[in-house]
Structure 1
């Protein structure tokens, strides 16, 4: 058994029973996830926000925003394949992490400028940087524990707590800052912590010894020689033929061009595959991707046929699992697209009185408790390593002072905001169904009307019906009953009160864009008790919170006698997640335009989505490593990530249809799609359990 002297540099100091180097990786991954999820939760919201407002966006359609985000998400799962290869052969894991971090920092900095060119450049840099960073952090961790396999499970548990802590705080703080101050502040905060995380990792170099260094030529040659001399029948070399390489190049090029062409065609009206177009349904890019899929199947089948029956069967099992994982991520990743829009436009996010008080208490606990725990870990790390890596600890302390500062500002703003009921005049008009050209009726048969706020540009008509309407706002401004104020309607039907500076800017924006002003004269009707407006991004933190809360419980079930087969776990994951969408479909059933649904439906949806993720997500990669021979493992891991990439792209494409499907049918119908499809897929994969068990030939 290995002893600690096998790597004395690594084991010189310990925190919570693990080497200090693990917690350097913990914080490095935490800041990277902070920046990644902090940006991710903003992108769709920013792109689809009205171009004129207190916090304007680009006013894209959900379809166009989904096309861009889908390509970004798809490429995030492709570039790590190449980043891992480059690190393995040429630059080592540590340099790969640093290079990736620097490139991602530049990407976040670029996005903070809020211009079209800087946004595209920023997303491109984030894709490239993630390719270097993502695979090599776990590679460093794996190499650190190579001689201590019995400690690896605990190390990965701690590491992934860092992943979820980073995602939690990134979405909470970047989202809050972006929605309450400005988008560039949210994008910029993500970049700042990415930079500081990189710096603390590099300055902690003495803790790692030779781990993750540039591989020597001798080491590479030895690894290749060991593989050639393998006596394991399942590990016999299966070299890529020239035909294999040609197929890989062709399918890769078509896939990359498809990823770029989708947003290019929808946003810029430039179609790289126009020559292949057959009709409106079989567009050029659809024909191209079908060709690429056929060629890819030829490649995979051709390579599989060269293996023995047992190996071939196991690889077929992996392909079946990969196919069903597409359906999971296609639905689960609605959290980055349609659910963001649903939270903004269709969810009641304004709480008053006791509801607001309860939310503020819960949100304070949710914010402070994890920060205290992670700060305590920072204290333990600094206590052990302050002398060896002084400046790395100083950078980490600066990071946490920054997080505490932003969190304190956020909580103070929520606790001290004033609540007012505002009255204004609205024009009452019939709500016309575009299909029938008749006025809509509700479930009881009553005619449906919509109310348009009377803006400063309104020209009176004798036949107009004007009614007094009210809404409630939360603001830091102090008013008394009877005060006259100017308000503006933002995306999702949200009203905001305007300062003189904001009023002048918005009026100038309307004039410059030759649009009719939507500034509304209003009056303070009543001073309310406590009120809080929940940010759109707040709901996204629930996934990370529920993972932290339930991961241990689910893990214990899998370690018990109730541990089901992989196919059943897959089916459970799909079905449990579908229940979340079913609740959203039920909660939004019969809801008319402009009416908000209770936030409880969205909270429950995220709960079931997370439970589904915990059933399915941890299973996949472990089965790839168990079922695939060493000579195909890199290829099959690439294929697995390709399935996830396809799922992410489909998620964004379908999520971008939320406006179209809601307009044509209903919001409830949109969510039913993600209820029915995963349930059917889950039942099918569970029914395949006997076949999959046979194909796996004893692997459990």
Structure 2
């Protein structure tokens, strides 16, 4: 009889509050939209503007630069998002507002216009800032202080995040690959609309959670907590949280190479051929699903391991888990070092796919030890009056980690050398191979033809050997050995990096018998390519390239230093673990299996008077 008298917000499902699953599915679909869009974002920016499904035509370096700024701002926006929740709206209403902005942002992003691209990104930044920190804080609000289920609840919530990311990386990646970039962006937007609908429907299961502490629905305890100054214990805990945010920056600075450097590396340097009749190779964006897929498989396993570990009386503090997770994640880059070595072992070589699978596996295990635990850690230590803003600072730290990741990825990409074609199309044709390509007819129908790319104003690549001779840089065709220098002139002037090319070749003792190599990318000027009347004239083509050997060295060095720094940082944290734990004042020392008390509504966070 007692069970039937429970209010919707008091009910449990599989041993957890029913509201957890409302937040689970809301966040699952929100992350579907975010990771689906993120998986194709860099690839879209780096795709030729003259392709059948044009991208922005940016260089890899520029694409990673914007990716770093965007992913930073997405999470830094969590600070004002948390502040708005704490001071004005409460977590629940701020999540609602953030979801609405996200629906607008993803909808605009599906419009194939340059203005829509940047406008959509702005709305998504604002929307994630409102939703992300506050929905995570609401998860903590479902559990009473000392409830051992809190960590496992966050792990379940985290699995929801990654089910969305897994589904998105496959479906959005394939839709973008088969139908076009903006269809992919549109599918991501549909996911956000579903998530918003779930959150609206599930309000009855969230009564008393995420309410504005200055509002009429807040409890007397919450109103008093919002007014009183912080105690010494609360201040110490805030200090620990701020130090833990440094771990967050380092962790995500290394981990978030996934959407940038590793995404581009997979696209260019990994053999993705599978030879299916309907799919010759796996799109690079689909590999973004590996991380989420591993989390779905191993999420509960890792969560259960740590519960068993704690019950065995062994060290299992959140800071310990975060340190171990950082070390494991860093070791994943060892496999990327092996991949880089394999790809560079032969000229224009590629690495096997299994290196990517192994790298993402270690990254995922590290993430499962770090990320859901850090979310739970904040809800244990954050003073009630600053619950949302501390979660906002956490996500801002995540954003700074993303910006760090973008900067690292940007440094891993060499600046391209550039030149201009100075010969006619007829003189270029002997060096170009015919290829199958899709084009749009005057009726906007897509058909496949077999022709020279230059006849359709498409880009084409000539593989070349590069070496110095008599104080000049010589380019010869990789297959025939014919001199390519008459085809183009290297850029000159104060802003040109052409002198550096000769310097690099000379310093590395490159010779004609031991040359460097380059993929010379010939591409028509974007604006001139829009002029259909001059289609196929072969004019206004530029050339760009990086030295393959130097680029491989740069990537290997990046993977190596990511390994060294993250592993060293993790061990440094373990060294100071005892001192940091003292500042928590036993916040994690008395966790037990607490069941929901139907007499108690609302939630508590880090009440210092109970320790």
Shorter-normalised TM-score: what interval? 0.5 to 0.7
**Aligned residue pair count:** 448
The answer as to 2:229 corresponding to 1:237 is yes
Structure 2: distance between partners of 1:224 and 1:205: 20
Alignment match, 1:411 = none
The answer as to 2:362 corresponding to 1:608 is yes
- Given the alignment, which residue of 276, 294, 304 partners 1:556? 304
Structure 1: distance between partners of 2:100 and 2:290: 29
The answer as to 2:335 corresponding to 1:335 is no
- Give the C-alpha shift of residue 114 in structure 1: 3.2
The answer as to 2:340 corresponding to 1:588 is yes
- Given the alignment, which residue of 294, 311, 327 partners 1:575? 327
Structure 2: distance between partners of 1:24 and 1:345: 40
- Give the C-alpha shift of residue 187 in structure 1: 0.2
- Given the alignment, which residue of 531, 535, 540 partners 2:288? 540
Structure 2: distance between partners of 1:325 and 1:147: 24
Q: 1:631 to 1:128 in 2, by over 3 A?
A: closer
- Give the C-alpha shift of residue 200 in structure 1: 4.2
Q: 1:200 to 1:148 in 2, by over 3 A?
A: farther
Is residue 578–residue 679 contact of structure 1 (8 Å, CA) maintained in 2?
Answer: yes
Q: 1:630 to 1:596 in 2, by over 3 A?
A: same
Alignment match, 1:429 = none
Q: 1:138 to 1:351 in 2, by over 3 A?
A: same
- Give the C-alpha shift of residue 107 in structure 1: 0.8
Q: How big is each residue's C-alpha offset from its partner over 1:465-497, in whole Å with a ceiling of 9 and x where there is no partner?
A: xxxxxxxxx5xxxxxxxxxxxxxxxxxxxxxxx
Q: What is the aligned-residue RMSD (CA, Å)?
A: 3.4
Structure 1: distance between partners of 2:49 and 2:392: 40
Alignment match, 1:179 = 177
Alignment partner of 1:98: what SS?
helix
- Give the C-alpha shift of residue 614 in structure 1: 1.8
Structure 2: distance between partners of 1:58 and 1:180: 18
Range moving further from structure 2, 74-83 or 647-656: 74-83
Q: 1:7 to 1:215 in 2, by over 3 A?
A: farther
Q: 1:573 to 1:53 in 2, by over 3 A?
A: same
Alignment of 1:273-422 (within 5 A): 308=232, 314-352=237-275, 416-417=277-278
Range moving further from structure 2, 633-642 or 163-172: 633-642
- Give the C-alpha shift of residue 544 in structure 1: 1.0
Structure 2: distance between partners of 1:326 and 1:131: 17
Structure 2: distance between partners of 1:23 and 1:624: 20
TM-score, with normalisation over the residues of structure 2?
0.65
Alignment partner of 2:274: what SS?
strand
Structure 2: distance between partners of 1:9 and 1:203: 12
Is residue 237–residue 631 contact of structure 1 (8 Å, CA) maintained in 2?
Answer: no
Is residue 62–residue 657 contact of structure 1 (8 Å, CA) maintained in 2?
Answer: no
Structure 2: distance between partners of 1:142 and 1:6: 25
Is residue 78–residue 396 contact of structure 2 (8 Å, CA) maintained in 1?
Answer: no
Structure 2: distance between partners of 1:644 and 1:678: 15
Is residue 269–residue 349 contact of structure 2 (8 Å, CA) maintained in 1?
Answer: yes
Q: 1:124 to 1:690 in 2, by over 3 A?
A: same
Structure 2: distance between partners of 1:62 and 1:606: 22
Q: 1:593 to 1:691 in 2, by over 3 A?
A: farther
Alignment partner of 2:252: what SS?
helix
Alignment partner of 1:350: what SS?
coil
Alignment match, 1:648 = 402
Alignment match, 1:682 = 570
- Give the C-alpha shift of residue 20 in structure 1: 5.7
Alignment match, 1:393 = none
Alignment partner of 2:72: what SS?
helix
Is residue 51–residue 58 contact of structure 1 (8 Å, CA) maintained in 2?
Answer: yes
- Give the C-alpha shift of residue 320 in structure 1: 3.1
Alignment match, 1:199 = 197
Q: 1:181 to 1:225 in 2, by over 3 A?
A: closer
Alignment of 1:134-173 (within 5 A): 134-143=132-141, 155-173=153-171
- Give the C-alpha shift of residue 336 in structure 1: 1.1
Q: 1:188 to 1:314 in 2, by over 3 A?
A: closer
TM-score, with normalisation over the residues of structure 1?
0.58
Q: Which runs of 5+ in 2 are unaligned?
A: 416-549, 589-611
Alignment partner of 1:69: what SS?
helix
- Give the C-alpha shift of residue 29 in structure 1: 2.0
Q: 1:318 to 1:68 in 2, by over 3 A?
A: same
Alignment match, 2:425 = none
Q: Which runs of 5+ in 1 are unaligned?
A: 230-235, 239-306, 353-413, 418-473, 475-531
Alignment partner of 1:656: what SS?
helix
Alignment partner of 2:257: what SS?
helix
Q: 1:151 to 1:555 in 2, by over 3 A?
A: closer
Q: 1:592 to 1:193 in 2, by over 3 A?
A: same
The answer as to 2:422 corresponding to 1:658 is no
- Given the alignment, which residue of 34, 37, 40 partners 2:38? 40
Range moving further from structure 2, 143-152 or 184-193: 143-152
Structure 1: distance between partners of 2:20 and 2:317: 32
Q: How big is each residue's C-alpha offset from its partner over 1:559-600, in whole Å with a ceiling of 9 and x where there is no partner?
A: 223444555433322221122111111221134563111011
Alignment partner of 1:59: what SS?
coil
- Give the C-alpha shift of residue 646 in structure 1: 1.3
Structure 2: distance between partners of 1:643 and 1:330: 10
